[in-house]
Every structure is written in C-alpha cells, then in structure tokens.
Structure 1
Amino acid sequence: MQGNNNPTRYVAIYCRVSTDEQAREGVSLDEQQERLKAYCRAMGWAEEVLLFIDDGFSAKSTDRPQLNRLMEYIRKEQISKVMVTKLDRMSRRLLDLLTLIDMFQEHQVSFISISESFDTNTPSGRLTLQVLGAVAEFERERIRERVLDNMFHAANQGKWLTQSPYGYHLEQKELVIYESEASIVRRVYDLYLNQGLGFLAIAKRLNEEGLPSKQNKEWSIRSIKLMLSNPVYKGTFVWNRTDSSKKKRKLKDDAEWIVIDDCLPVIIETVMWDRVQAKMTKQNIAPRAKTSPHLLGGLLKCGHCGAGMSIGWSGSPNRRYRVYRCSANKNNGTCTSKQYRANEVESSFLSGLSMLSQSLSLELIPQFAEKENSPADQIHQRIQAAKNRYKRKVEAYTSGLIDLSDLEEEKQRRDRILLENQSQSNMIEKLPIEQLSEIIGNKISTLIEAIEILPVEEAKSLLGTLILKVTVHGEKELDIELDVI
C-alpha cells in the first residue's frame, strides 16, 4: 500500500441503464460490465477496477448516486481512468459531458468510451467527444420534439395527459366527474367566496373533518389555492403552461399555452369561477386584520388621508373605551384626523347596512349602471391607464432612459391590473341587473344577521365577501363601498 503522497489509483467502470432503455434495447448492466472488464484485460491495465453502477437512472440529469460517488473518488485523486461502453451512458447532454470531462482532466483522469474508440487524453479523442456529444444531444431533442408533438395532438383533442385533478376520475384518458370529491370542490369554492374563509381556514376545516386530498394527504394552503385557481373546474383545458425540462419550473409565454374552453365536465360554473379569481387577485384585508376582534379592523379608512384606521384605547384607567385612529396620525403625525369611538362607528356602520338593504331596488341598479362613471367605465379606464403606462415605459426603455428591470416590473404591474379588472369586467357583462341586485340584497341581509349572532371573528369573514372598504368622516358619517364582484 502506498503512502498518502502517492495514493492508489483505480480504473473506474461506470455503467448506467434506465428502466425504459433496458426494456426497449436490452442494454443490461451485466453486459456493460463484462465488455468493460474484457477491454481492461485486452489493454493490459494492471490497476484495480472499481464498479460504479446506476440502475434505473436517466441520463437527463447528472445527479445520480453512483456518479456522485465516482466524483468523490476523483476529487480524492484515486481514479486514473473512467470507462463507459457508450458516450450516452455518462450523459446525453453535451454541456453536462463537457463539464464532467473538464473535471476529469483537472484531476488527470482520462475518459474512455470503448464503442466510439477514443481517449480524452488525446486531441483526436477530445474532438470526437464533442462531435459525438452534439449528435447525442441532437437525437435526444428530436425524440423530445416527437413526444411533444404527440402530446400537443392529444391535448387539442381534449385528452387528459396527467393524473386526474381532485373531483374527477380518469376513464380512457377522459375526465369524468367523481361526485363524492366534486361536492367537496363546490363546498371549498362556497367557503371561500360566500363565507369568507381563507386558504388556511378551509384546509384546517377539511382536515378536522378527516377528508383527505387526492394523494390521501392533509390539505394545505397550497392545495386549496391550486384548487381555487384551476380552470379545469369550469370546463377549460389548459396545458403546456410551464417548462419542466429544467430543475426549476418556469411559466411559459401565453402564446405557447394550449387552452380549450368548454371541453371538460363542469363542476364550478364560469360565473362563480370568475368571481373567485377576482377575489384572489385582491387583498382586501391583511391577514392580521382578519383575526382582529374589532368589527371594522382592516376595512376602515381615514376620510382625511385614506390611510388605514387602527384600533386603540382612550379614557381614564377606570373608564377606558375603544377608539379607531388614523395610522398616519398615530405613527408619524402626517394626518390631522381625530380619533373616533369604536362603538359609535360600528353602530353607524350597521345602521348604514340596514339602510342599504331597505333601499336597494331594481330602480337603483339601472341608474347606477347608466352613470358615465359606472363600474364598467371605471374598469375600462383602469385597464387603458395600465396599457398606456406600459407603452410609455417601452418608449423610455427604447430611448435608453430606464433599465430592463424597470420595464419588466411595469409589465408585471400591467398584467396584474389586466387580470384583476378583466375578471370584474366579465362579471359585470354576464350578470343581468336583476340577478346583480338580488345577489347584493341577499348578501347584505345575511351579513346583518351574521353580525348580530356570530362572534366578531366569524362575522368578519363574511364581511370581507361584501365590503371593499369603509371610509370614516365622522362617528356617524361613513362611506360604505361594496364589493359586488
């Protein structure tokens, strides 16, 4: 045994096969080993042989157990040669191959492929390596393109290509509604839209009732959010949204998506699905405000400066009472608004809701819709303003006045505004005036009853389904802005 300054170096035999390759081509691990050992004997190499076998691993990634183990031996200067039967046993990607070869040469390790008859310690071997690597990568891309073409064709025919979503079963590559799960999907949408529960509250309720998700796991914030945003439930097929060829998935451009409307069994009506998307793009109440024991926490805005109103206490130690005060006044003194007694403000709010409920009629809604600055007009103005602002940013970028990061930030802002307001616009166009009036009236009545009988925390969940914000000008002077979408 040699000392540490001159460690023993081995010949590494690396073999790999993926399950589908072995079934398709009969490329067995035993055959690879025998061929490589016979080559060593024929070459008269006296070094001891070490085996590194990756069974059932694809060449698409270099993150393989035995390949990683081989790298550790190389870093410790314990390998003189690395042998494979064919180039693609090591990797099918030229970039990965060159990266590995660079590391081999850094540690004076030659790379030998017996089928292609080359050794990377020679210039001709390195040239051959690059040529063959390019050919291997080209062939892999051709196979990938053929697979994608087949998947595109199936997707355009409405065939489902992956595991069925919760609420459906898969029969002959077509989705069919599985009612025991579909009823839970409808309930989740109702809990979120009509009862004001958030993702966590919905997940917690389903878990407490012992209702498992598709994979028999507990529900989570992510699984609830994915369910509420999945267009499959309104009958829309969407495929090819993400690029999964790399470790980190990336959202593709809209133009590459396959979107087919009204081709799948419907669990959630389009109107309800659109309303859920509109709500998800808004953030009416901050998470902390939702759990506040004060009725208007998170909803109340200052009539002087528009800042949020926070809760506080006032009065003597023996006669303390709750107050709402402007956050801008409290934190930095930039607003001159006074504080308001919370009980008075909340009482005025309930009175205002009762008046809205009593005065709401079919006569008011058409008048509201016919105004020049109607909700539809406001939505159009917001969309157009976002487009114009982005257009100006593009011109500024072209002129070299701003960086690309500024332009991308503006694009994200524009897309967010378009998504939110387009969903609202669809709702206004689809709902008849009578139906809109009935929805608002029923919501107000339900909300008033809930506030009277439920704990404040539970009543606030329903409050967020109807009230967009409340602006206070005085303890008995409030503006209540409804969220009718």
Structure 2
Amino acid sequence: MFRQSEEIDQRDIGIYTRVSTEEQAREGLSLDEQKNRLESYCHAMGWNQHIRFFIDEGESAKNLERPQLKLLMEEVKENNLSRIIVTKLDRLSRKLSDLLALIDLFQSHKVSFISISESFDTNTPSGRLTLQVLGAVAEFERERIRERVIDNMFHAANQGQWLTSAPFGYKLADKRLVIDENEANIVRRIYGMFLKENMGYFAIAKKLNEEGIPSHTGKEWWNRTIKLMITNPAYKGTTIWNRLAGSTEKREKKDVEEWVIIEGTHEPIIDPEIWEEVQKKAEKKRLPARSQRSTHLLSGILKCGLCGSGMSHDRAGSKNSKYGVYRCSANKNKGTCTGKVYRSAELELLFKESLLQLSKDFTLHFLPSIEPAKDALTSTALQQKVHNAKKRYQRKVEAYTAGLIEMEDLQNEKERMDTLVSELEASEVIEVNPKAIEENIKSKLRTLMNVMDQLPVSVTKALIKEVVEKVVVKGEHDIEIHLK
C-alpha cells in the first residue's frame, strides 16, 4: 500500500497509419513500412501494453472522414488507449485545425500523442511547446471566426430569430419560438403560484417535485431554476441577446447599450403587464448571492448522511432570535431530502471534540496482504548511473528514428539500461513504519486543535482541508470524519 512507484498506464497503444493511392504511387509510402517502424519504436521504448492498429488505406487527409480514424476517436472517447503514435503528423491530418481538434480530444482523455519523425510527443516539454505554438495560431483563427459569428448573430437577432435552445414552454420551428401548450400551462401555473399564491422559489420547486412534474432537463426543479424562469423576458414575447460576455470565464453582464432587445418576436406565454408585475415582486425576493469565501468552519467538507449532498450554512429561528444551522442542499434547494437541520455551533463543537479524540486514539491498520518493509538503503551513485543510462538510451532512440543506427544497437542499449534499473530497484526499499505514520497524523491533528480557535476561520479551514477529506453527518451526536 505504501510502496512508492510510478503508476503505469495499462491502456492499449494505438498505432495509426494512412496512405492515399496518389501518395503511394508518388512517394512509395508503404503501410507495412509505417506499421513495422512504429511497432519497433514501441518495443524500443519498452512499452509492453497491447498494440492496436488503425490502418486507413487509400484515404486522403483533407478531412477526418476516414473509417479507421473514426474508430480510433471512438476508442479514445471510451478511454481504451494510452498513446497514439504516427510516423509523421500529416498521417493524422494535413489541416492544422483538424490536427489540433484531435490532439485536444486526446489531451482531454489523458492520451499522449507521438509523431516519431518530428520527435513530437505531447508528454515532453518540447512537444508541449510546439503544441502551445500551434494552439496560439488556432486561437487567432478562432477569434476571427468568432467575430464573423457575432456579426451574423446580431443580424439574426435583429430579424427576431431565436439563437439558442428554446426555453421551457416553447419549441423551435424555423429558428422561431412556438408555444408548446403542455409546458406553457406549467409556466403559467408557476407565475400564478408566485404572484397570486405568494409562494417563494423553493416552495414552487418543492411542489412541482412532489407532483413528479419534470423540468426542462427532465430532472428535478431547483429554486434557482424557478427564479430564472420567473425573470426570463422570453415569456412576454421579447428576445434579448448579447447580455453576457461569452468569451470570459465569469460571463459578466454587458452594458445595456450593447444588448440587442427586440419586442414582440414571438407569441407570449405571459401577458407583458403581468410579467412586469411579477418582476416588481421578484426584486423583493432576490436570492442571496452564493458566498465565494464562506466564513463557516465546515462549509465545503460537510456531507448529508442520508443522500450524500453537500450541506451549506443557513440562518434559522425567529425574527429576533436567529442562529446558524447547517442543512442539506438537496433539502434546501429541491425539497427532495428529509435530512435534519443541525445547529452549526453544536455540530462544529462535535467536530472539534471528535478531532481531539482522534489525535489521541488514531491507529493505523494495514491490509493483511501488506507487510511493512523494515530496511531502507538507496545508492546515490547507482541512481546517477540509471539517470545517465536513460538519457543515453533516449539519444539512441532519436538516432534510430532518424535512421542513424540499427535496431540491434538500440536493443543492446535498452538491455544495459534495464540491468541498471533492476539493480536499483533491488537495492531500493521504502521504509514504512506504522508507529511513525500514526504519530505524524496525530501530530498534525494536535497542531490543528491548538490553532483552531486562535486563527481566522479562513486560515483554519485551509488547515482542516489538508487533513480532512469530508465530514458526514449521521445524527445530532454522530459524525464520520474521513481523513485524507
């Protein structure tokens, strides 16, 4: 359990080869030659994972519509491959935009991409530098495309066309909103519950969830979903576009002068006068903004023991006697969990008492199959030899890919490196002392207890998160503390 080792990705290696009929006739490019060279490269690098071949014969690289390339992409999405190797970059694609799109797909699934002729490997610093340069060029192209798209969208919005997915209560027909009567009746009912029955966002969401009415996504209703529906001008027949900066991470609201506002673009579900009346009432019921830096001790690590959802801090009690509580977010926002509300002062005190007890009684248990090693001996000189051997072998690999040496020379160098690595592994034993580990954890817990009531909450929370993964509330006097 405690042995230190580099985790090896055991997923398959994908070898992709391609040749068009024209290229084969002109340059004599052979699929077998590509296949053999790439297979030899894998063996030379000491990669023992299963190798899978994706071979497109007589296929052009002008686009991504190639049978075996599509299959390769599907295997990447299924997380079945660890590496993809080609002889040259243009085997994968001749278009920069397509190449970058493929590499982005590989990166998102933690698949390294290697081209042996250009010595391009997304796992190396030089490979990542090349990728960043290519990415900068692509970013410039994307900005130019974005400008053209924005111009087109401004034109479409001014023509009254709807530019995104239809809001709940509508469906799209020729890029225009058409009322869906089944959903529209629910929208009218929500507005009525809010305006006439004086129900809040949470009460409306809870009522709809209890009745089993699905939301636009087919999932449960949230208080914030109701709030967004109540304030959406689309329901009074108005199209508003360009309110938010789409290229920024926080999507900040733009100045009103930049908005595109067109009245009467589609049939309203809610009468405009009623909609305006609802907005006046909604101003008084504005949801509090979520705090980016909670000042409550257990925020972020506290979990509901019934449903597993996070628990957030809230206020409860009478108007003149408020006190802090922690409550399940599924209970608070959707009404779908029956978890209790716990006073924050009592829960935080229980947490501190439990930590104190852990700092005294913590015991480390090993799995029966794990035996702690007793001795430790590391040879610095041998480590240096292994380091030099790996560098020397990497140079040999580069020489082989350039055609300067034979496969036999590369294999001999690999054997010499493997011998040194085996010697180092045989001499290198990691010492695991259970008592020392227990004392280290207890020491961290004691330190945490000593400073908990003296430092600001924000600092204390950071220290807690270094030791504690989560706290699960089982009852008023029952919590589970999961250490990292």
Answer with 1 or 2: which has the greater Rg: 1
TM-score range, shorter chain: 0.3 to 0.5
